[in-house]
Structure 1
């Protein structure tokens, strides 16, 4: 069997006087080196893309982190300047891909912005500037440090006994990195909380009724996937699920009728 391929939705980035569709290198590298998979970047388009047409051609979905935030209108809130920056094209592609991947039993791994998109896609909401809430730590990246220090493993999260994450990295305390100022507020009905920080911030979830691997984490295992054992095990578990899906494609039920194009 040829090496399975996953889709990674892109961000829109502006430089050199034009717009680019981009995914940070560490996600591509972790996909290849730790998960043993190939990656295709899905362009971020606000309309015209068919989620099923994309998913027909891949064996998994990785929803990466980003410097942008999910637009509050997508979870019923008013947007303020403090909630940004936004990337509506990324939202327009990622959320339908997440929903259809879960419907079809396609393995899905959501990281940082990705866990927030997963929550919103399934009917949850987000909290902004969580460091300003009473009793909540500052989970943002450190200022004025190099990239390795920015992604340093420095925060404890607690993995729930008997959870999907516990099966992968073990239950109890796990040391991770932290680079976020938004987090899950109202948890989507289909999500199970699997990991929390000591301050109560939700750090890991799984999809309760998922037909395959469907996990989201708020931290960044992709950055240390080649050197940190728990980070690597997350990508290995995703890779194993993708290979299982690819091997069993011919045995799966026919996909549900296609929905309209991504808009």
Structure 2
């Protein structure tokens, strides 16, 4: 089978006197080497994009992490300098893309900002600056100029028995990295908790009754996909779901001919 196409979200950034629609290399590397798929960057042009056509062509969707946060106006919060930066063009693209992917049964993997987009897209809310909550761990990256130290695997996460991810990892605990300062607050409709941190912070969700793999994780499996077993399992499960979707589409086309 040819490498199936996976739509990948992009951030809108300003540098070198241009407006760029881009995604970090680590996610693209993980898509290719960890999931065995061909990543296709989707520009963040919101309603100008024909997302139905896009989802008829690709066999999966991957939402990347980002320095930006989902705009609080989308879930009843208040925007402020401390909670930024924002990327409203990305929001206008990813939120409808998430809803349509779930509706059409296209496999979905949402990472970091992606799980937050997933929750907001389905009617949930986000908690900001969670390190300030009483009893909360500090989920932010360690202060360092060394990316390996910032993304170090250092946090324990408990996988819910009987969950989708229990089928990937087995029930119990795994170790992950942690590079975030906001998280899922009120859970969105149709979502269920897959994993939590020791302080109760939601670390993974899935769509109840989804027609295909539809999982969001708050950590960053893309960073250590070549060396960490748990990270590899996330992308392998996503890649398998993508190939299954591609095969089902091919069989349906063949039956119609």
Q: Pick the TM interval, shorter chain.
A: over 0.9
Q: Is the aligned partner of 1:146 residue 2:146?
A: yes
Paired position in structure 2 for 1:203 = 203
| Partner Cα separation in structure 2 for residue 24 and residue 53 of structure 1 | 25
What residue number does 2:50 align with?
Answer: 50
Matched, 1:16 2:6: no
**Distance of 1:92 and 1:51 partners within structure 2:** 12
How much does 1:18 deviate? 1.6
Q: Distance in 1 between matches of 2:211 and 2:118?
A: 16
Preserved CA contact (<8 Å) 1:155 1:177: yes
In the superposition, relative to structure 1, how do residues 97 and 193 fare at CA in structure 2: closer, same or farther (>3 Å)? Answer: same
Deviations 1:196-243 (A, max 9, x none): 001110001110021000011000000011110110011000000000
**2:181 match:** 181
> Residue 123 of structure 2 aligns with which residue?
123
**Cα root mean square deviation, aligned:** 1.2
> Which secondary structure does the structure 1 equivalent of 2:57 belong to?
coil
Aligned pairs for 1:221-236 (under 5 A) are 221-236=221-236
**SS, match of residue 238 in structure 2:** helix
Residues in 2 aligned to 1:247 and 1:108: alpha-carbon distance in whole angstroms: 16
How far residue 189 of structure 1 moved from its aligned partner, in angstroms, is 2.1
Matches of 1:214 and 1:64, distance apart in 2: 14
- Cα offset for 1:144? 2.3
1:94 is paired with a residue of what secondary structure? helix
Q: What residue is the counterpart of 1:97 in the other structure?
A: 97
The residue number in structure 1 matching 2:86 is 86
Indicate conservation of the 8 Å contact 1:46/1:88, yes or no. no
Segments of 5+ residues of structure 1 without an aligned counterpart are 254-263
Q: CA deviation at 1:54?
A: 1.5
> Are the aligned partners of 1:126 and 1:183 in contact in 2 as well (CA < 8 Å)?
yes
Q: TM-score by structure 1 length?
A: 0.94
Taking the aligned partners of 1:171 and 1:204, their CA distance within structure 2 comes to: 13
Give the secondary-structure state (helix, strand or coil) at the position aligned to 2:136.
coil
**Residue 258 of structure 1 corresponds to which residue in structure 2?**
none
1:239 equivalent in structure 2: 239
> Secondary structure at 1:73's aligned position in 2?
helix
Runs of 4+ in 1 over 2 A off after TM superposition: 250-253
> In the TM superposition, what is the alpha-carbon distance from 1:193 to its structure 2 partner?
0.4
Q: Distance in 2 between matches of 1:132 and 1:251?
A: 52
Aligned length: 253
CA–CA separation in structure 2 for the residues paired with 1:19 and 1:142: 30
How many Å apart are 1:20 and its aligned residue?
Answer: 0.5
Q: Which runs of 5+ in 2 are unaligned?
A: none
For the residue of structure 2 that corresponds to 1:100, the secondary structure is helix
CA distance in 1 between partners of 2:152 and 2:78 (Å): 33
